[in-house]
Each structure stands twice: as structure tokens, then as C-alpha cells.
A and B are shown apart, each in its own frame.
Chain A
Amino acid sequence: GAGVSQSPSNKVTEKGKDVELRCDPISGHTALYWYRQSLGQGLEFLIYFQGNSAPDKSGLPSDRFSAERTGGSVSTLTIQRTQQEDSAVYLCASTRLAADTQYFGPGTRLTVL
């Protein structure tokens, strides 16, 4: 079946603009995770969704970052007033609830000029 998909694959934006990153998880996967991969910081957890709720937002770096999930499926990560330090690859992963293996999307490479 189809894997996790993310769009866009690349996004270049100017400092101060808002961006939206989309994740389409594998059908039937209740759990969804966002991670960020940046130079110097490695891979970092951002937020965890269980269905449409987000019981763990502890990794969001600032209040400029927010995310939502609708219909237990698609998730959108929004970054407001982007800064250069937001430049990174944003990864989404999904899995069945409490399952051990996460399935990763190809990522969105965000470049803030």
C-alpha cells in the first residue's frame, strides 16, 4: 500500500513568512509524529498525535510552531514568522497506536532565506 507522503518536498521562503507543511499518514495509522532534522541539532521530536489530539507537544521549539490533525488522517505543521534557524528537513512518521515501528515520509526540506 501507499506509504507516508509529505508535501511540498521542498519549500523556500523568506524570513517572516508563514509556511504550512503537510503529512498524509498510512491509512489506519492512529499515531502520527513530526520530527525535525537540522544541521548541528540532529533529529528532534516535535509533536505526537493520537487521533486528532496532541497529548505531547513538548518538542515544539516556540509558539511560532503549531500543528493540527483532522479526520484522524492528514496533519499540517504550521510555522509562523519563519526564521533562518527554522531551516531544516521536517519529517513525519505514522504507526498504529502503541506499535513499535514508525514509518517515515520523505520529508519536506524548508529553506528560510
Chain B
Amino acid sequence: AQSVTQLDSQVPVFEEAPVELRCNYSSSVSVYLFWYVQYPNQGLQLLLKYLSGSTLVKGINGFEAEFNKSQTSFHLRKPSVHISDTAEYFCAVSANAGNNRKLIWGLGTSLAVHP
């Protein structure tokens, strides 16, 4: 079984400041890792994913995340945020084998970027 913990439910930050959204996971099997973003009144959009290879993955809108196997973490970072980054961010995992790739989700982190 897998589980995902997003350590911060809300993160307020000023525009142009750096931000880190934290995600830890536990799993008895190898997993893929994902970050999704949900803008206000919109659907889920894939931000980035880790499948294998380089532990630093880059996504859309200047976001990146680093997979740390020893710490079972997949924290999301952006060096300088914009007002438009205000959204809900979800970390998720899925098994990386078999046909069933159901996503197990964290509870989300609400990022609020202030001017």
C-alpha cells in the first residue's frame, strides 16, 4: 500500500520569493511520483512527474522537484513565484508496475502568492 503526506496545508508567500512545497511518501513497492496543480475553478493539470533516471525533474511554469529515495520525499520548488501560481498543489504516487496505476494522493497544499 502507498500513502502520501503533504506537510503543509497552506503556504503563503510573497511574489518573486522562492517556495518549497513538501511531499513525503511511503510504499512497499516502487512508485512513480507526480505533482498536479489545480487552479481556482479549474481541473487537475500535470505539473511534473518522476519515472526514473535523473532525480531532478523539471515541469511546466518553472517548477521543479527532486526525488530523494532515502528520505522518501519529492519536494516541489520554484525559485520565484508569481501571483498566477496561486493554486492548490497535489502530490501523488502510483505503482510503477502492473496495469493498475491508480493514484494515491496527498491532501494538497494551498499556495497563496501575495503582492
B106 touches A102 (CB 8 A): no
Segment from A18-26, A40-48, A64-72, A78-86 that makes contact with B:
A40-48
A31 touches B104 (CB 8 A): no
Whether B56 is near chain A, meaning CB under 8 Å from some CB there, is: no
B101 touches A98 (CB 8 A): yes
A100 touches B105 (CB 8 A): no
Which residues of chain B in 28-64 are interfacial with respect to chain A, using CB atoms and an 8 Å cutoff? 32, 43-44, 46, 49, 51
Which chain A positions have C-beta within 8 A of B104?
A: 45
| A43, A48, A97, A101 interface centre (most CB from chain B within 10 Å) | A43
B46 touches A33 (CB 8 A): no
Whether B71 is near chain A, meaning CB under 8 Å from some CB there, is: no
Quote the shortest CB–CB distance from B58 to chain A (angstroms): 16
Which chain B positions have C-beta within 8 A of A42?
A: 90, 105-108
A106 touches B43 (CB 8 A): yes
Whether A104 is near chain B, meaning CB under 8 Å from some CB there, is: yes
Which chain A positions have C-beta within 8 A of B44?
A: 91, 104
A44 to B105: give the CA distance in the assembly, Å: 7
Candidates B43, B49, B90, B98; contact of A105 at CB < 8 Å? B43
A102 to B32: give the CA distance in the assembly, Å: 12
A43 touches B100 (CB 8 A): no
A98 to B97: give the CA distance in the assembly, Å: 8
A50 to B44: give the CA distance in the assembly, Å: 22
Which residues of chain B in 2-49 are interfacial with respect to chain A, using CB atoms and an 8 Å cutoff? 32, 43-44, 46, 49
Known: A42-B106, A43-B108. 12 other contacts (CB 8 A): A33-B102, A33-B103, A43-B90, A44-B105, A50-B100, A56-B100, A91-B43, A91-B44, A95-B101, A100-B101, A102-B103, A104-B43
The 9 A-B residue pairs with the shortest CB-CB distance in the complex, in nearest-first order: A43-B105, A42-B107, A104-B44, A106-B43, A45-B102, A98-B99, A48-B100, A56-B100, A48-B102
